[in-house]
């Protein structure tokens, strides 16, 4: 099923695109006037120059690029960040340098990816007890898997 995303591109970069036909994430590129030096343990808000109208029932999830994370320690800080269907501002990415080395971001660099996903808004039903499960209220580490 094709979903139409209306987009305005105010950058001098090409539109988001997938790297392969099986890719879920569309690459987002930095739209910056000057290079940004990202120091170790520093975060920076990076503009893309992109504005989108995402249909109701869908969200854009901003995620790290695996190669950038593995090779350079550069991640999307609040990954996945959510772009809601009613947001019309510029798509921006919070990048964080987890490495011990400085990292330079240039205009046009692929800095993140966006995955479009459907969602449902539930109707909450207030009750006094919940149905039983094998796990009950066991939280972190409660499944015994090491």
State residue 106's pLDDT score. Answer: 98
Confidence of residue 142 (pLDDT cuts 50, 70, 90): low
d(C-alpha 56, C-alpha 5), whole Å: 11
- Mean predicted confidence (pLDDT) in 7-32: 96
Closest CA to 17 of 5, 31, 27, 8: 27
State residue 79's pLDDT score. Answer: 87
Q: Write down the pTM of the prediction.
A: 0.87
CATH 2.70.40.10 fits 6-118, yes or no: yes
Confidence of residue 146 (pLDDT cuts 50, 70, 90): low
* 14 has a pLDDT exceeding 80: yes
d(C-alpha 89, C-alpha 32), whole Å: 16
What is the per-residue pLDDT across 37-91, written as a single tens digit (0 to 9) for each?
999 999 999 999 999 999 999 999 999 999 999 999 999 999 899 999 999 999 9
What is the per-residue pLDDT across 82-132, written as a single tens digit (0 to 9) for each?
999 999 999 999 999 999 999 999 999 999 999 999 999 999 999 999 898
Domain boundaries, the chain: 6-118
In the chain, what are the helix, strand and coil shares in percent, each to the nearest 5?
A: 5, 40, 60
Distances from the Cα of 80 to the Cα of 93, 121, 126, 139, angstroms: 10, 18, 29, 22
State residue 95's pLDDT score. Answer: 98
State residue 64's pLDDT score. Answer: 97
Helical ranges in the chain per DSSP H = 66-72
State residue 44's pLDDT score. Answer: 98
Number of helices (H), then strands (E), in the chain: 1, 10
């Amino acid at each position: 099923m094709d979903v139409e995303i209306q987009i305005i591109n105010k950058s001098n970069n090409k539109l988001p695109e997938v790297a392969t036909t099986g890719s879920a994430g569309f690459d987002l590129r930095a739209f910056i006037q000057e290079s940004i030096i990202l120091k170790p343990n520093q975060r920076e808000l990076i503009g893309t120059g992109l504005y989108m109208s995402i249909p109701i029932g869908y969200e854009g999830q901003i995620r790290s690029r695996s190669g950038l994370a593995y090779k350079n320690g550069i991640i999307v800080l609040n990954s996945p960040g959510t772009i809601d269907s009613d947001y019309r501002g510029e798509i921006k990415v919070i990048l964080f340098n987890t490495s011990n080395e400085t990292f330079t971001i240039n205009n046009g660099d692929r800095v993140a990816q966006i995955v479009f996903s459907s969602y449902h808004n539930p109707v909450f039903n207030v009750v006094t007890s919940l149905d039983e499960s094998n796990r009950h209220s066991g939280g972190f580490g409660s499944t015994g898997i090491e």
